[in-house]
Amino acid sequence: MVKKSGQVPLADDIHESTPLEPQPQEGAPLSLRFAGSPVIPFGMLSAVGLPPGVSWANRFSLLNAVSWSLVLGSPLILYAKSIGCGDAILGLLAAIPPLLVVLQIPGAYLLPRFGYRRVMVSGWAARTVFIFALAGSVLWPDSNLAKIAWLLASIGVFSIFRSITGGAYMPWVTSLVPPDVRGKFFTRDQLFGQAGNVISLLVAAACLLGNPHPWQFALVFVLAGTGGFASLLCLVRLPEISTPESHARSGARVRLVAMLQQRSFRQLGVFNVVYSLVWGGLGVFTIAFLRQTEGLSQSAIVLLSSVSVLGGLASLLWSGVVIDHIGSRPIMTLCVVASILIFLGWWALAAKIIPLDPVFIGILYLLMGISALNFAAANNRLQSLNIPHHGRNHYFAVFAVATSVAAGLSPLIWGVILEAIGAHHSYTGWVAWNRYSIFFACGCLLCLPLLMFARRLEDHSRAHIRPAPTAG
C-alpha cells in the first residue's frame, strides 16, 4: 500500500506493512496460519515461522531474566529487610526502577542516531557494572545505614541506564517480527524469560538457605551480574534495523495530543495505568507480609515465589496460539478476574480467615504467575498492533513511562500508608484488620473497574490481520 508523502498512518496501517517473510494466505490450514507450527502446546517452543535471527531476542530474555529477577526481585527485598529497611524504604526501592522509566522519552531521541543495537548494548553493559558494584557493597564492614544508602544509589544508577536504553527493545523487535506471528513471538519471549526466572530463583533459594550471611547475598548479586553480561552476547547477534527510512519513520516526533487522539492507544494506555496501580505493590508487600508477619525464612519465600513461574510457563505453552487466534482482550479479561481472586486469597490470609498454609500460598503464587505472564504476552501483542509505525519509538516510550510511573507510585504510596498504619490491629467479628489485610482488600476493590476497562479495549484478532499481498 502506497501512502502520500507526510501522511501519518493509522494503527490499522500496521496490519498492511510488508513482513520480513512471505505470510500464509487466508484459508490456509490452521497449523500453517499460526506461525507455521502445529496447534499443539509445544509449538510455542519452536522458532518455526519467526524471521531468521529473531530467536536471539528470546535467548536475551532468558539470560536477562536471570539478571533482573535477582537484582530487582525477591532476593533484593530480602536483602533490604536483612539490613533494616522498613516498608517505606521497601516501597521506595520498588518504585525507583519503574519511576525512572520516564527517561525512555529522552532516550527515544538516541535511537534514530545510533541504532537499536548500539543503544541497548551500551546501556546493558553500563547497568551490569552497577550490579557487580552492588554485590561488592554487601561485603562492606560499614554500618547498615551506609549499605542502605549505597543500595538505593546502585539501584538508582542501574535503573537510569536501564531506562534510557531499554526503550529500544520493543520498537526493535516489533520492526523485526511480522504482525501475523507477534502473539507467538511474545508468548515465546515470556516462556524464555520465565525459564530464566525459574533458574535464577532456584539458585537464589539454594544460596540463601538457613540464616543467610552477607557473602551469600553477594553471591546472588554476582550471579545477577553474570546473567546481565551473558545477555549482551545475545543482543549483538540480534539483527539490526539498518534502513534509514525505517529509523526516520519510527523516530519521527509525535505530539502527545496527537497520541491521545488515537482512541485505541488512549484506551489501552488508561487500562494499563490502572492495572499497574493495582499490581504495583503486590509483589513487594506479599514478601514483606510473609517475612515480617508470618516469619517465613528467606529461602522458603524465594521457593514459594518461584512457584509463580511454573503456572505461567505451563499456560503460555497454549496461550500464544490462542492469542493469535481470538485476540488479546479475552485473555486480559480473564487475567483481571484472576487478579480479583488473588487479592481475595491474600486478604483471607492476612485477615486470619485462613490459617497460614504453604500449599495455599503456593496456589496463590501459581495464579499470580498465570495471570501476570499471560497478561504480559497479550498486552504486548495488543500494544504492538495499536501503535502506528510513524513515531513508534515515542509511542512506546510514552506508553512505558505512563505505565511504569503508575507501577512505581503504587508501592511508594502504599509503603508510606502501611508505615503510617504501623502495628494497628483490630477485629470485625473474626476478621482481622491490619496493615496487610487493608492493603489486599483495597487491591481487590481496585480490580473491579478493570473489568469494565477490559471490555472496551480495541482488539485485532487473527481474522482482522490481513495478509500481505503476494508478489505478482
Give per-residue pLDDT as tens, 398-442: 887 888 888 878 888 888 888 888 877 888 888 889 889 999 999
Q: What's the pLDDT at 163? A: 86
- Percent composition of the chain: helix, strand, coil (DSSP 3-state, to 5): 75, 0, 25
Q: What's the pLDDT at 48? A: 63
Q: What is the DSSP letter of 290?
A: I
What confidence tier does 244 reach under pLDDT thresholds 50, 70, 90? very low
What confidence tier does 253 reach under pLDDT thresholds 50, 70, 90? low
What confidence tier does 7 reach under pLDDT thresholds 50, 70, 90? very low
Lowest mean pLDDT segment, chosen from 22-31, 147-156, 190-199 = 22-31
Domains of the chain: 55-464 (1.20.1250.20)
Residue 125 burial by Cβ neighbours in a 10 Å radius (0-12, 13-18, 19+): middle
Higher-pLDDT residue of 114 and 339 is 339
Query: Does 37 have pLDDT greater than 70?
Result: no
Q: Can you tell me which residue has the cell 518504585?
A: 95
- Rounded Cα distance between 81 and 450, Å, is 32
What cell numbers appear for 140 in the block?
562492606
Query: Does 374 have pLDDT greater than 60?
Result: yes
Higher-pLDDT residue of 30 and 159 is 159
pLDDT (mean) for 443-463: 78
Query: How confident is the model over 96-147, as pLDDT tens digits?
Result: 888 888 887 788 778 778 888 888 999 999 999 999 999 988 888 777 888 8
pLDDT (mean) for 275-280: 86
Q: What's the pLDDT at 440? A: 93
Q: What is the DSSP letter of 433?
A: E
DSSP assignment of 361-412, as one string? HHHHHHHHHHHHHHHHHHHHHHHHHHS-STTHHHHHHHHHHHHHHHHHHHHH
DSSP assignment of 59-119, as one string? HHHHHHHHHHHHHSSHHHHHHHHHTT--HHHHHHHHHHHHHGGGGHHHHGGGHHHH-HHHH
pLDDT (mean) for 181-195: 80
Q: What is the DSSP letter of 178?
A: -
Closest to 411 (Cα-Cα) out of 159, 89, 82, 73? 89
Q: What's the pLDDT at 251? A: 52
What confidence tier does 180 reach under pLDDT thresholds 50, 70, 90? confident
Closest to 273 (Cα-Cα) out of 408, 382, 95, 407? 407
Share of the chain above pLDDT 90, in %: 15
Q: What's the pLDDT at 97? A: 86
Q: Output the CA torsion 262→175→166→376 (10° steps).
A: 70
pLDDT (mean) for 449-453: 85
Q: What's the pLDDT at 422? A: 81
What confidence tier does 294 reach under pLDDT thresholds 50, 70, 90? low
Q: What's the pLDDT at 21? A: 32
- Rounded Cα distance between 88 and 85, Å, is 8
Three-state DSSP state, 431: strand
Lowest mean pLDDT segment, chosen from 3-7, 181-185, 454-458 = 3-7
Share of the chain above pLDDT 70, in %: 80
Closest to 139 (Cα-Cα) out of 52, 32, 44, 214? 214
Residue 36 burial by Cβ neighbours in a 10 Å radius (0-12, 13-18, 19+): buried
Q: What's the pLDDT at 72? A: 86
